[in-house]
Structure 1
Amino acid sequence: MHIITKLADRLLEKVAPTVTADAACRYLSTDRQIDGFCTNGTMGVRVRTTVHYDNCPPKVTFNC
Protein backbone atom coordinates (compact mmCIF):
# COMPACT_ATOMS: atom_id res chain seq x y z
CA MET A 1 0.00 0.00 0.00
CA HIS A 2 2.89 2.36 0.76
CA ILE A 3 4.27 1.96 -2.78
CA ILE A 4 0.91 2.85 -4.33
CA THR A 5 0.64 5.96 -2.15
CA LYS A 6 4.13 7.13 -3.14
CA LEU A 7 3.35 6.51 -6.81
CA ALA A 8 0.10 8.45 -6.57
CA ASP A 9 1.88 11.37 -4.89
CA ARG A 10 4.58 11.48 -7.60
CA LEU A 11 1.95 11.38 -10.34
CA LEU A 12 0.00 14.19 -8.68
CA GLU A 13 3.16 16.33 -8.42
CA LYS A 14 3.75 15.98 -12.15
CA VAL A 15 0.16 16.44 -13.34
CA ALA A 16 -1.35 18.97 -10.94
CA PRO A 17 0.92 21.97 -11.71
CA THR A 18 0.31 21.71 -15.46
CA VAL A 19 -3.45 21.44 -15.04
CA THR A 20 -3.68 24.52 -12.83
CA ALA A 21 -1.32 26.51 -15.08
CA ASP A 22 -3.30 25.68 -18.24
CA ALA A 23 -6.57 26.54 -16.54
CA ALA A 24 -5.26 30.02 -15.65
CA CYS A 25 -4.08 30.79 -19.19
CA ARG A 26 -6.25 32.79 -21.56
CA TYR A 27 -5.86 32.15 -25.28
CA LEU A 28 -4.78 35.18 -27.32
CA SER A 29 -3.73 34.06 -30.80
CA THR A 30 -2.13 31.38 -32.98
CA ASP A 31 0.71 31.95 -35.46
CA ARG A 32 1.83 29.46 -38.13
CA GLN A 33 5.12 29.71 -40.03
CA ILE A 34 7.00 27.51 -42.47
CA ASP A 35 10.11 26.38 -40.61
CA GLY A 36 11.99 24.25 -43.13
CA PHE A 37 11.52 20.77 -44.57
CA CYS A 38 10.50 17.48 -42.95
CA THR A 39 13.32 15.05 -42.23
CA ASN A 40 11.31 11.87 -42.78
CA GLY A 41 11.94 11.67 -46.54
CA THR A 42 8.64 13.16 -47.67
CA MET A 43 9.00 16.35 -49.63
CA GLY A 44 6.76 18.25 -47.18
CA VAL A 45 7.40 21.40 -45.25
CA ARG A 46 7.73 21.70 -41.50
CA VAL A 47 5.18 24.04 -39.92
CA ARG A 48 5.83 25.78 -36.61
CA THR A 49 2.65 26.60 -34.68
CA THR A 50 2.88 29.05 -31.78
CA VAL A 51 -0.11 29.53 -29.49
CA HIS A 52 0.08 32.73 -27.44
CA TYR A 53 -1.54 33.05 -24.01
CA ASP A 54 -2.11 35.88 -21.56
CA ASN A 55 -0.08 35.27 -18.32
CA CYS A 56 1.57 32.08 -19.68
CA PRO A 57 4.50 31.34 -21.97
CA PRO A 58 3.67 30.49 -25.60
CA LYS A 59 3.40 26.83 -26.60
CA VAL A 60 5.29 25.85 -29.74
CA THR A 61 4.66 22.68 -31.77
CA PHE A 62 6.11 21.43 -35.05
CA ASN A 63 4.20 19.41 -37.66
CA CYS A 64 5.07 18.01 -41.06
Structure 2
Amino acid sequence: MTVTAFDTSERRAWAAQADACAGSFGTLCAYPVPRLLAVATRNAATADVRPTVLPEPPSPTTRATR
Protein backbone atom coordinates (compact mmCIF):
# COMPACT_ATOMS: atom_id res chain seq x y z
CA MET A 1 0.00 0.00 0.00
CA THR A 2 1.30 3.41 -0.94
CA VAL A 3 1.08 5.98 1.83
CA THR A 4 0.17 9.40 0.49
CA ALA A 5 0.50 12.82 2.07
CA PHE A 6 -3.25 12.69 2.69
CA ASP A 7 -2.90 9.38 4.56
CA THR A 8 -0.15 10.83 6.70
CA SER A 9 -2.14 13.96 7.57
CA GLU A 10 -5.28 11.92 8.37
CA ARG A 11 -3.34 9.58 10.65
CA ARG A 12 -1.77 12.56 12.41
CA ALA A 13 -5.16 14.25 12.89
CA TRP A 14 -6.94 11.13 14.14
CA ALA A 15 -4.10 10.03 16.44
CA ALA A 16 -5.00 12.82 18.84
CA GLN A 17 -8.64 11.67 18.86
CA ALA A 18 -8.09 8.00 19.70
CA ASP A 19 -8.80 8.34 23.44
CA ALA A 20 -11.96 10.38 22.89
CA CYS A 21 -13.20 7.89 20.29
CA ALA A 22 -12.45 4.91 22.55
CA GLY A 23 -14.36 6.56 25.40
CA SER A 24 -17.47 7.24 23.34
CA PHE A 25 -17.89 5.20 20.18
CA GLY A 26 -15.73 2.39 21.53
CA THR A 27 -18.10 1.89 24.44
CA LEU A 28 -21.16 2.25 22.23
CA CYS A 29 -19.89 -0.28 19.71
CA ALA A 30 -18.69 -2.73 22.37
CA TYR A 31 -22.12 -2.96 24.03
CA PRO A 32 -23.78 -5.34 21.50
CA VAL A 33 -20.69 -7.51 20.95
CA PRO A 34 -21.46 -10.22 23.56
CA ARG A 35 -24.98 -10.71 22.17
CA LEU A 36 -23.74 -10.78 18.57
CA LEU A 37 -21.09 -13.35 19.47
CA ALA A 38 -23.69 -15.48 21.25
CA VAL A 39 -25.90 -15.49 18.15
CA ALA A 40 -22.95 -16.24 15.88
CA THR A 41 -21.83 -19.10 18.12
CA ARG A 42 -25.34 -20.54 18.27
CA ASN A 43 -25.76 -20.28 14.51
CA ALA A 44 -22.39 -21.93 13.92
CA ALA A 45 -23.26 -24.76 16.32
CA THR A 46 -26.61 -25.41 14.63
CA ALA A 47 -25.33 -24.75 11.10
CA ASP A 48 -28.06 -22.10 10.77
CA VAL A 49 -26.62 -20.03 7.99
CA ARG A 50 -29.80 -18.28 6.89
CA PRO A 51 -29.08 -14.62 6.19
CA THR A 52 -30.96 -11.95 8.03
CA VAL A 53 -33.12 -10.10 5.56
CA LEU A 54 -33.68 -6.46 6.35
CA PRO A 55 -36.63 -4.55 4.91
CA GLU A 56 -35.91 -2.17 2.07
CA PRO A 57 -35.66 1.44 3.17
CA PRO A 58 -38.43 3.71 1.90
CA SER A 59 -37.83 5.42 -1.39
CA PRO A 60 -36.86 9.09 -1.02
CA THR A 61 -39.61 9.94 -3.51
CA THR A 62 -42.30 8.18 -1.47
CA ARG A 63 -44.15 10.41 0.98
CA ALA A 64 -45.02 9.07 4.40
CA THR A 65 -48.74 8.56 4.86
CA ARG A 66 -50.55 9.07 8.11
Q: Which bracket does the TM-score occupy, shorter chain normalised?
A: 0.3 to 0.5
Larger radius of gyration: 2
Relative to its length, the structure with more helix (as a share) is: 2
Bigger strand share: 1
Instruction: Point out which structure has higher relative CO (alpha carbons under 8 A, 6+ apart).
Output: 1
